[in-house]
Structure 1
């Protein structure tokens, strides 16, 4: 296929590899083929056969090494990706690591990943322990690892193979994927995502990963690995893509869809990752934050806090007083980076209208001036057409009536006025 303005040439690696570890404190004595055979029907026939073939080939190695011979794995990162205290204790007390490594060419199926994970899960099961996926720095118990492998019909959930971490920036949330490189594809990223759409955008990123991975692997069906695969610059993510990625194709209306544009963001540091950046389609007038909010709402419904006109009351006055009394402390924590990872500071402020004040929320991006907050609106204002989800706003600190800390699940601190409103319902 010739390179055109409609396609993005993405380089294909010559080979791929997978590494899994099984910590043990009592010696492994691991016999991979016997461990795999002992799983019986817990492994699908295709994966079981594949694992046994790989064990007997030079494409897989299984060896036991002293812990001191393997680079130290950071406990804080393992915990951030879901490791339990018990799993961290397994690693801390381990004398040896069973190391399962496999390599294969890019394409589908990802033989290196399926076989290495199956063998590592089988060994962990035989040792009454857990395994570590080195690529994602995740601990997996054997049952979880086995459930992630394809069934007899080759079906699997992509969410079991990729993560979608995010972190706050001055302009919203920065999302990336971690897992597409298992299959040779560059990871995805998106910036300026409004904080209230954390879950919805994570699902859209996963759906986009599924759509692009399908195009990628369908381009790698020939025996000779091409130097490049041409991905479409403009792509559409559907509700069906998202549902299939989560393993529930029947649970989402496949009619919903959202257009996205791809841009290649090559790394300038040789040790850093390059990304495929998700952007609004060409010709889209809305800013990225505003467009991302629109498509999240289109596919999943509104994620913005309710806008309410309220009448004064003693309870509301106390709530506003509590919020304003602690607002300086909230600002101090924001400025020194004292908020937990993935948590956003939002403020609620009033807009003057003929009917009184309309209260809307905004996500703080900068607060260097004590009297003025630079933020991104998380609400559409009924009274001001310039205040839309994802648009930048400047808020006078004196107009703030409430603040809250939000993570992907909701309010974890603050939100006193909202609590009063909720009690009235």
Structure 2
């Protein structure tokens, strides 16, 4: 392999393993092969054939063990990744876990993941139970797991296999991916992302992951995977990449792509994870956040921002009323330092403009006066050049239309108006 300044040599693992658990109180009524066969056409033929072949080989094992033989699965963490109360209750009541393990070499298709998830979903359905994706620490219903598997043409939605968590730091938001290691690739990270780009940047990360994953698997087409694969330092992402990653290949406008720089950030601790970092291109001046904002503007235009214009329809009016009704309580909790650790309180307020109010967000830093909130801008306003991200702002409480408590996983409380917007 030729090493050049245009490519990053990324190590390729020799093999990959997928593990799924099925909580139960007894042995499965069907064998793995019988459970897969019972799914019928709910499992596309390519996946059914792959799972059947893996079941008949030493590459996939199924074993039932007592729950006490396993490390404790933290319910709060499972809940943070989407587990419902009913799912957690079923897990707590289980006496045994059916363990599905599969191994395969890196490349495409990821046979270990597809086969293990298919078998676990089939066994879970036969037990009227859930399955746990150990890699992502997610509890899935059999129906959700089956929908994530490839269709008859081998197509999958990357968002069903990839999480994009984020957390706050002094320079903005720190985004990472969780899912690329399923395919043997290092996870992505980006630091200093402006808070108002939360949803847009999550889509950008997903699109970049899709582009890099495609390059990665193309590098691994040989019978014997190389020790290193080369990834281009210039990471290009387009609207098409994002649309395909979300399972909507026909819903993109064919607009201009955006370019980011890819850097290898090896972990100083051998037990910690290394990352592929997304940064502005060489020669860019100014904070990374401004370039990230330009990337979102290139890919999404005005919709790349969480700044929205809206007229208060019934659902929106109800959301605003709910948020305003709970303002006194959230202020009391903020002043009493009763918010979750490492969480931040943000408020959404109205700025007047000729086209109607522009709604922007601010991070609350002080709220001693019940009528006035001191904070810092969470995004640049379009209509008021004085309202800029990171700059001090004073907000009249009467202008607040929503609030939210954010932690490393996203919105943990509030955000009613955003929920209405997200619902279309």
Correspondences of 1:169-318 after superposition (within 5 Å): 169-300=169-300, 301-302=302-303, 303-305=305-307
C-alpha displacement of 1:366: 6.6
C-alpha displacement of 1:280: 1.5
Distance 1:156 1:383, change over 3 A: closer
Q: Are 2:107 and 2:220, in contact at CA under 8 Å, matched by a contact in 1?
A: yes
Q: Does residue 1:364 correspond to 2:382, yes or no?
A: no
Q: Are 2:403 and 2:415, in contact at CA under 8 Å, matched by a contact in 1?
A: yes
C-alpha displacement of 1:153: 0.9
Q: CA RMSD in A?
A: 3.5
Q: Which runs of 5+ in 2 are unaligned?
A: 310-324, 352-356, 418-424
Q: Are 2:162 and 2:179, in contact at CA under 8 Å, matched by a contact in 1?
A: yes
C-alpha displacement of 1:225: 1.6
Correspondences of 1:15-414 after superposition (within 5 Å): 15-300=15-300, 301-302=302-303, 303-305=305-307, 329=332, 332=335, 336=337, 338-339=339-340, 344-346=345-347, 363-364=362-363, 375=376, 377-380=378-381, 384=385, 388=388, 390=389, 392-395=390-393, 399-402=394-397, 405-406=403-404, 412=414
Q: Are 2:344 and 2:364, in contact at CA under 8 Å, matched by a contact in 1?
A: no
DSSP-derived class of the 1:156 partner: coil
Larger radius of gyration: 1
Comparing 213-222 with 266-275, greater Cα deviation is found at: 266-275
Residue in structure 1 matched with residue 319 of structure 2 by the alignment: none
C-alpha displacement of 1:376: 5.0
Distance 1:306 1:123, change over 3 A: closer
Structure 2: how far apart are the matches of 1:189 and 1:324? Answer: 34
TM-score calculated relative to the size of structure 2: 0.81
DSSP-derived class of the 1:151 partner: coil
Structure 1: how far apart are the matches of 2:74 and 2:126? Answer: 25
CA deviation vs aligned residue, 1:16-42 (integer Å, no higher than 9, x gap): 000000010133244101111111111
Structure 1: how far apart are the matches of 2:330 and 2:86? Answer: 39
Structure 2: how far apart are the matches of 1:359 and 1:81? Answer: 32
Q: Are 2:350 and 2:358, in contact at CA under 8 Å, matched by a contact in 1?
A: yes
C-alpha displacement of 1:204: 0.9
Runs of 4+ in 1 over 6 A off after TM superposition: 322-328, 347-350, 365-374, 408-411
C-alpha displacement of 1:46: 1.1
C-alpha displacement of 1:169: 2.2
DSSP-derived class of the 1:249 partner: coil
Structure 2: how far apart are the matches of 1:200 and 1:292? Answer: 10
Residue in structure 2 matched with residue 422 of structure 1 by the alignment: none
Distance 1:342 1:183, change over 3 A: farther
C-alpha displacement of 1:349: 11
C-alpha displacement of 1:4: 1.7
C-alpha displacement of 1:277: 1.2
Distance 1:346 1:290, change over 3 A: farther
Distance 1:40 1:198, change over 3 A: same
C-alpha displacement of 1:183: 0.1
DSSP-derived class of the 1:231 partner: strand
DSSP-derived class of the 1:103 partner: strand
DSSP-derived class of the 2:231 partner: strand
Q: Are 2:364 and 2:373, in contact at CA under 8 Å, matched by a contact in 1?
A: no
How many residues align? The count is 390
Structure 2: how far apart are the matches of 1:3 and 1:342? Answer: 43
Distance 1:67 1:211, change over 3 A: same
Distance 1:327 1:59, change over 3 A: closer
C-alpha displacement of 1:381: 6.0
Q: Are 1:87 and 1:130, in contact at CA under 8 Å, matched by a contact in 2?
A: yes
DSSP-derived class of the 2:112 partner: helix
Q: Are 1:324 and 1:400, in contact at CA under 8 Å, matched by a contact in 2?
A: no
Distance 1:342 1:109, change over 3 A: farther
